[in-house]
A and B are shown apart, each in its own frame.
Chain A
Amino acid sequence: MLEKALIGNRTYWGWLAFLAGIIAVGAFFYVRQFSVGLGITGLSRDVTWGFYIAQFTFLVGVAASAVMVVLPYYLHNYKAFGKMTILGEFLAIAAVIMCMLFIFVDMGQPTRVLNVILHPTPKSLMFWDMISLSGYLVLNVLISHVTLDAERKGIAPPKWIQPIIILSIPWAISIHTVTAFLYSGLAARPFWMTAVLAPRFLASAFAAGPALLILMTLLIRRLTRFDPGKEPLERLAVIVTYAMTINVFLILMELFTGLYSAIPEHVAHFQFLYLGLAGNTALVPWMWTSVALAVVALVLLLNPRTRVKEPTMIMACVAVFVSIWIDKGLGMVVTGFVPSPLGHVTPYWPTFPEVAISVGIYAIGALVITVFYHIALSVRGEIAH
């Protein structure tokens, strides 16, 4: 089956070459970071996690969101998602690989990373994050391989895979819950220490992930003979609508509790995010962009006509994705560190090498998705040559 990755047209190979170029740039800067240290990033004594860990957090959500096509299809026998599940699973695989790479590039001593397995420490949430992420990767590789292989042979998937598919549903929820627990269990960081963090992570994930899946499906439909029909996309858009509404609702809950209680160390973080703190306003325009996009997305999604019409559906999905990316991929992690527990406000902005390494990892994810989708569509004979 894998040999199908090697047969493709010029667009396919050109795109892969382009991605390889971006990966090479990222690798170049990673080699520099490896020899100099994390000092080449914008991180500091007070802001010790930044862009890498934020991308990791965002992408765990994208990975978990595969469950939004898997669950209706396998649990509710919703047939319209039949053609989509494999796309969801491959997206999950690519996202988990990116997550692992973002953790890896954030390590101060990457050659020692296996110490996490050598000295397993169940009281650390990072241990459970490793278990849940690697388990999720194995589950999705296994499920997608077995089901696609069955499709190739024109037979039904073997019975033993069913319980494994069912297991992958709570497992998807667990990866993002554990990721939220990484943050929400720290008394030192009031911005993260909220019980609503895990639900909020899940809601934003189930909005951003399916939004991305809609956009990618529309793109593939343009480039290939693949066409899942209108129904699964419209149904996915409904899922995005519910999830985004819940996400915005939870953000408002967070704001109310933080601001009305008026405890200074809680208020300060929101002040930093939306107004700026001690002259540091780096995130302010981004956060208001995120707010504006969330409003636009909700208006377009809640109106049934704009939700199903393709151009507005695309607009809504882009708005959801970018809004949540700003919230999780830029704001959420850094704000936990500003102000620091001692009240210091240290500016942080990713440096060029930091962004280049991150873009390189995203390019690896795009490459994995391209190759896997190419294989899946080749198996189905839906590739346009």
Chain B
Amino acid sequence: MNEGRRSFLKTAALGALGVAASHALPATAEGAKATGGRRWAMLIDTRRCLEKKGCAKCAEACHVVHNVPALSNPRHEVKWIWREGFREAFPDQEAEYFDETLTTSKVLVFCNHCDRPPCVRVCPTQATWRRRDGLVMMDWHRCIGCRYCVAACPYGSRSFNWVDPRPHIAEITPTYPTRTRGVVEKCTFCDERLPEGRLPACVEACEAKALMFGDLADPASEVREVLRTRFAVRRRPGLGTHPAIFYLV
């Protein structure tokens, strides 16, 4: 993925220079060079997020721009980002005497873009792969629909298209591909927006400013600064997957 990464960095730098809209995205290619590449990551300020009970703005925005179908049959559900109970999202956290506002609320979950993704390890066609900047990608034209990645993901982040998703998309966003039946899909950290210097759709849509996106490889980045000062947990750290999603508690 060397070539892809180089061109990605170039466009990312150009786009960032042009738009310069973000506080979390490093704006120049120099920063990337100095740190030997980027490592995109997301921070979720759970308290801020939970203040807005029932808010699903991030999921709505994500699902609209990515043409994620809304299937009425829960067995066939496709979702990229959703709310999950604290105990379900963090099964190995001792939650018995925790602050109840935390344990009874639902936290945001999506693809963790792991450093060592089990889904990538098992895929027999490299239809899912990890970019050097940390994004775990999907090629929907190569995926054979074997669902081995779904079995391997310890976070339940992957959805399979059990039926044709297109009739279940309220309004198709023409700038993003739709999927066909029989392939697996998931959050891709908005790989299509990053080269334009834009933040992921969920981050942009969050009114509570509870989501923060940035470069872990840059010690001076805002995400690194926050991780230095606040306590953060990741989902199932014992599995050695090293997720790129941090939950600030």
Contacts and interface: CB of A to CB of B under 8 A. Distances in A.
Interface stretch (A33-41, A146-154, A272-280): A33-41
A121 B164 CA distance: 28
A61 B156 CA distance: 30
Most buried by B among A43, A118, A119, A127: A119
Interface string A45-62: 110110000000000000
Contacts of A188: 118, 151-154, 239
Interface in B63-102: 73-78, 84, 87-89, 91
Q: For chain A, what secondary structure do more than half of its interface residues adopt (helix, strand, loop), or is it mixed?
A: loop
B144 A186 contact: no
Nearest to A42: B75
Interface stretch (B7-15, B23-31, B122-130, B203-211): B122-130
Contact of A112 (B142, B153, B161): B142
B150 interface: yes
Contact of B142 (A39, A45, A46, A119): A119
A44 B151 contact: no
Interface in A339-379: 340-344, 346
B195 interface: no
Given A39-B162, A39-B163, A341-B155, A108 B182 contact: yes
Contacts, number: 139
A327 interface: no
A48 B124 contact: no
A116 B124 contact: yes
A123 interface: yes
A106 interface: yes
Interface string A91-115: 0000000000000001111101101
Contacts of A343: 87-88, 91
Contacts of B87: 343
Contacts of A130: 124
Contact of B150 (A48, A124, A185): A48
Contact of B91 (A39, A115, A186, A265): A265
Highest count of chain B CB atoms <10 Å: which of A110, A187, A340: A187
B243 to A, nearest CB: 13
B46 to A, nearest CB: 17
A336 interface: yes
Interface of A: 36-39, 43-46, 48-49, 106-110, 112-113, 115-116, 118-119, 121, 123-127, 130, 182, 185-189, 265, 336-337, 340-344, 346
12 contacts: A37-B162, A38-B182, A45-B75, A45-B159, A108-B143, A108-B144, A108-B183, A115-B127, A121-B125, A124-B121, A182-B148, A336-B151
